[in-house]
Amino acid sequence: MSAIPPFSVISGAQVHDTINGREPEVTELIETAYRLHGDGETTNPDSYFLRFPDRPTSRIIALPASVRGKVEVHGMKWISSFPDNVANGIPRASAVLILNDYETGYPIACLESSIISAARTAASAALAALALSAGRGGVPRRVGYVGTGFIARYIHTYLVGNGCEFDSVGVYDVSAAHAAGFREHLARGQQGEIELYDNAEDLVRAHPLIVFATVAGRPHLADPRLLAHNPLVLHVSLRDLAPEIIRTAVNVVDDVEHCMKADTSVHLTEQQLGHRGFVDGTLYDVLTGGFTPPVDRPVVFSPFGLGVLDLVLARHIHASVAAAGRLHTIPGFFHDVSRYG
């Protein structure tokens, strides 16, 4: 007979304490999630977007998912993006994640998830950088960031935490103050040059590794000549590059079906061309040797972000906190559970 599992709440501080400084371990977990997904051991429905007529730049997204294999968990991330928050001194994104017991379906935990989301996004980017650069002599030693918020900070931390070394870092943001703040953050750990750029185009031309981590809602770069030097582009924010650029690049995604929606750059390209033939492979294909990107063309990695990544990491955090005896359970959370009272 199955028992109702206890319900717990895991704070952002606990999440941070569990994964901070463990970038290789987190990246390995994210690779595990990608491999399980590619092997058919996950269920990852479409993300659901809640939008607001009076707040066109804001949204809240539900990412339900289930992971089988050795992980065995169901759940959902509920993440909001309200860009106007930044002007008011609070982060743009906030999130919670619900884990459900694999056998009973009962919710077993609610985790603060903005850190989980940022960490899995950054680990995905770092994993892609390592895998896609394997045939190019390794990850380039010069990186440029377009967009300098929370996600950019995490991506740089995960690149460095996975052994990447940079002689120089380029920085551009539409907000000069944010760019300066990111530069100040980088200066606390970066030994090489840190250069601020006045525009995204000059930064892109100057770097062999480029990270897009903006809140752009539509493409703002359209000239394919910007990638004439065949860089590796981590297109994390998904909507910065016009179809003219996507069409001329080697395109790698995390999941083809999931990327082709919500007006991402690859979705716009599909609408323009009427097919998906411009997508060359997935990160799973690269990890398993099914696809090797050429070295003489620009490579663009566009990760829509899969809920299974959040679940694998959240399941690890829950297990770690429980093993340490630090779970904050809520007695009586499930009430009136007798069939006839």
DSSP character string of 254-301: S-HHHHSSTT-HHHHHHHHHSS-TTEEEEHHHHHTTS----SSS-EEE
Nearest Cα residue to 67 out of 45, 91, 44, 92:
44
DSSP character string of 153-218: HHHHHHHHHTT---SEEEEE-SSHHHHHHHHHHHHTT--SEEEE-SSHHHHHHH-SEEEE----SS
In what order do the strands lie in the sheet containing 142-146? 193-196, 168-172, 142-146, 209-212, 232-235, 299-302, 250-253, 279-282
Domain range enclosing 80: 8-116+307-329
Residue 108 has pLDDT above 90, yes or no: yes
Claim to verify: residue 237 and residue 291 sit in the same structural domain: yes
For 19, phi and psi rounded to 5 degrees?
-115, -10
| 70-83 pLDDT tens trace | 999 999 999 999 99
Nearest Cα residue to 302 out of 121, 135, 97:
121
Q: Is residue 165 part of a domain?
A: yes
Claim to verify: residue 180 and residue 287 sit in the same structural domain: yes
What is the rounded average pLDDT of the residues 166-170? 96
pTM: 0.95
Which residue has 């972000």 as its token pair? Answer: 305
User: In the structure, what pLDDT confidence band is assigned to residue 189 with cuts at 50, 70 and 90?
Assistant: confident
pLDDT of amino acid 1: 54
Claim to verify: residue 19 and residue 108 sit in the same structural domain: yes
| 209-264 pLDDT tens trace | 999 999 999 999 999 999 999 999 999 999 999 999 999 999 999 999 999 999 99
Are residues 239 and 216 in contact, defined by beta-carbon separation less than 8 angstroms?
Answer: yes
| pLDDT cut 90: percent of the chain above it | 95
Q: Which residues make beta-bridge pairs with 233?
A: 210, 300
Claim to verify: residue 259 and residue 167 sit in the same structural domain: yes
Helix axes 114-132, 150-161, angle to 10 degrees: 50
Claim to verify: residue 177 and residue 295 sit in the same structural domain: yes
Claim to verify: residue 84 and residue 149 sit in the same structural domain: no
Alpha carbon distance 71, 315 (integer Å): 7
Nearest Cα residue to 97 out of 110, 116, 106:
110
Claim to verify: residue 63 and residue 185 sit in the same structural domain: no
Distances (CA, A) of 288 to 31, 35, 55, 131, 283: 11, 8, 42, 10, 9
Please give the tally of structural domains in the chain.
Answer: 2
